[in-house]
A and B are shown apart, each in its own frame.
Chain A
Amino acid sequence: MTATPGTEPLLRIQDLTVSFPTEDGLVQAVREVSFDVYPGEVVAIVGESGSGKSVTAMSIMRLHPKGAQMEGQILFDGTDILSLSEKEMRALRGDDIAMIFQDPMTALNPVFTVGDQIAEMIVTHRSIKRGEAMSMAEDLLGKVGVPEASTRINQYPHEFSGGMRQRAMIAMAIANEPKLLIADEPTTALDVTIQAQVMEVVRDVRELTGAAMLLITHDLGLVAGAADRIQVMYAGQIFERGTTNEIFYESQNPYTRGLMHSIPRVDYVGTRLTPIPGAPPSVLALPAGCAFRPRCTHAAEICREQPATLEHFGPTPTHMTRCHFAAELPPLEGARA
């Protein structure tokens, strides 16, 4: 389900720059990010903490703290989200665009039953009686694999385990059959044993509703099985993008490669993990030239002098990378023949 030329993108982000005023000056958390999400596809944004991936996602919902300045365009279904009134925006949130939050422990209201909260999501956007919404909630809970849904809807979040709560969150998100699901680190707060189950649920409901999904994560392993296309973000910029195969097997970016070398792999017996040295730069003091230069193994003089641009690489239109030496990097270890 890759980008098919000809179809209109569901979401088109163009030159999005998000900056926050702080005591130390204006901080650009996202810098000129552009990408498209087509109907029904899964696009992942991958990056370390502070790379701007969550800020990008929140921009689509327009849920930034007050004072955030957004430039550029976010076109959803043809309308520019940044020009909508607050009221029009509220009608969109939870209806056409829904979000799955990271921490199901705190994202559910402790004093309402789970069924109440799912029903609330429905009645906010549709003129439906509460009782009817409750039976829809029961239905939804069943769909996301919560056993005994009819009793579970009358229970409170603290009576649910972490995985069950995340399922309830997913049920809430799909309650109004959104066109776009934003999942912000949906499995980060869960036990590893539950992560796979929850991802399976996410995949199932996505197939069920046909929604497109924007998956925000730092977990490359999660992305491999779930995403159609990947955007790798670093220091507020997209460093590389491509289909999942292109990123995993033909990456032509030192940062993406660094990320991949930091994941343990079962088929690399006896080799040590190579972490990326150093820490991501502070967005307040970005290095001159390429933002990744101080940590890059391939850095040269030009990287200091001039920032790299996001350029097409290889034969496909989907693969783009931001590196002065993209063409000179050796082929990826373990790449397909």
Chain B
Amino acid sequence: MTDVREQAATTAPGDVGSVQFDLEAEGLSIEAKSFGRQTWDRFRRHKLALVAGFLLVTIIVMFWVGPSFSSYAYDQPNIPDRSKGPSLDHPFGTDPLGRDMFVRVLRGGRISIRIAVVVAIVSTTLGTLLGAIAGFFGKWVDLLISQLINLFLIMPALIILFVFAIRYGNEINSVSILLGFLLWVNIARIVRGQMLQLKEQEFVQAARAAGAGSFRIITRHLLPNVVGPIVVQATLIVGTAIILESTLAFLGLGVTPPDTSLGVLINDGKGFLRDRPSAALIPGGFIVLIVLCINFLGDGLRDAFDPTSRRVRE
């Protein structure tokens, strides 16, 4: 089948002595699809990613609109109702101050997602930029950035975060931006490695011969080739950020009471894990669910952005 197609494709009309195929009659004509359509088609084949994406959207919508359907507020204590297990009235139970856990989980999830998104955007942008510059230009630029990467790798992140939080305030946005500045190194290393390999390909020389400058070559010709690894790494960072944030919250950085995040909720719940495991397991379950969804989504996106993956999973 493929052979016939190949042969038909390499045969120019009007070539003397070459076999002519009627493409329509052979049922071999190729349908044209736009880039967006092809990407969507490839993504759609990835059933798991499709389910994960749907689930993630559902969870996020629930986080944002959910609280308005409840008669409780996340910061409204109700001492008589304290430390209850799940019931019809409080589906996730209540905490030791009698606050409704359902509303608090939704509130916490919202904060966690916000942090994760900011961290992912900051670190991906920074890492891609620096990695691309290092890999493409090489020489002393590469040396400088590589050493910077090494520096960040050996720096104890928690201590840095502590120092900065004490100096510049303990606000969620600044903590998440700081987290972003600490997590860019992995993306930078991956992008740098890919760039080193890609820049030797002949199509870069061809782009130069077509009159493209370095900036255009990096942005228009090289970076699109690295989208796959970047997307995967970015999804991993989302997971890391959510988990790192809970570590920070444990140390009293980032979210301050009565506000909460998924990490804070787990931390709060760990005290009575034996009596009411739901207090820690529910927010923990949400973290697992979100990170898993994002990873599967990343998998699907990577395949969707890779045009050569078309035949792989058919």
Contacts and interface: CB of A to CB of B under 8 A. Distances in A.
Interface of A: 61, 63, 86, 90-95, 98-99, 101-103, 106-113, 116, 120-121, 124-125, 145-148, 150-156, 158-164, 169, 172, 194, 197, 201
Given A146-B12, A161-B10, A151 B206 contact: no
Contact of B211 (A94, A153, A163): A94
A147 B23 contact: yes
Nearest to B212: A124
Closest 7 CB pairs of A and B: A145-B12, A94-B210, A94-B211, A93-B211, A151-B32, A106-B202, A99-B209
Contacts of A91: 211
A120 B220 contact: yes
B212 A90 contact: yes
B15 interface: yes
Contact of A148 (B30, B201, B208, B209): B30
Among B9, B33, B203, B212, residue most surrounded by chain A Cβ atoms (within 10 Å): B203
Interface residues of B, number: 41
28 contacts: A61-B208, A63-B205, A63-B208, A93-B209, A93-B210, A101-B202, A106-B201, A107-B202, A107-B203, A107-B205, A108-B203, A109-B203, A110-B308, A111-B306, A121-B210, A124-B210, A125-B211, A145-B13, A147-B9, A147-B12, A151-B31, A151-B32, A152-B30, A153-B32, A158-B308, A159-B30, A161-B9, A164-B10
A129 to B, nearest CB: 17
Contacts of B212: 90, 94, 124
B43 to A, nearest CB: 15
B9 A111 contact: no
Contacts of B225: 109-111
A219 B210 CA distance: 26
Nearest to B20: A147
Contacts of A93: 208-211
B68 interface: no
A161 B6 contact: yes
Interface string B210-224: 111100100011001
Contacts of A159: 30, 310
Nearest to A150: B32
Contacts of A172: 206, 210
A263 B269 CA distance: 84
Interface of B: 6, 8-15, 18, 23, 29-35, 201-203, 205-213, 216, 220-221, 224-225, 227, 305-308, 310
Contacts of B206: 99, 101, 107-108, 169, 172
A94 B308 contact: no
Contacts of B8: 147
Nearest to B18: A197
B203 A106 contact: yes
A181 to B, nearest CB: 11
Nearest to B13: A147
Contacts of A158: 307-308
A248 to B, nearest CB: 25
A155 B33 CA distance: 8
Among B10, B212, B306, residue most surrounded by chain A Cβ atoms (within 10 Å): B10
A164 B15 CA distance: 14
Given A112-B224, A145-B13, A159-B310, 16 more contacts: A86-B213, A93-B210, A94-B212, A95-B211, A103-B202, A106-B201, A106-B202, A110-B307, A111-B224, A121-B210, A145-B15, A148-B23, A150-B32, A151-B29, A153-B32, A161-B10
A224 B135 CA distance: 44
Contacts of A103: 202
B49 to A, nearest CB: 19
Contacts of A113: 35, 307
B16 to A, nearest CB: 10
A121 B211 CA distance: 8
B31 A92 contact: no
Nearest to A167: B12
Contact of A101 (B31, B205, B213): B205
B30 A155 contact: yes
Contacts of B221: 109
A98 B12 contact: no
Contacts of B209: 61, 63, 93-94, 98-99, 101
Nearest to B38: A154
A63 B212 CA distance: 12
Contacts of A94: 209-212
A182 to B, nearest CB: 8
Contacts of B34: 154
B185 to A, nearest CB: 25
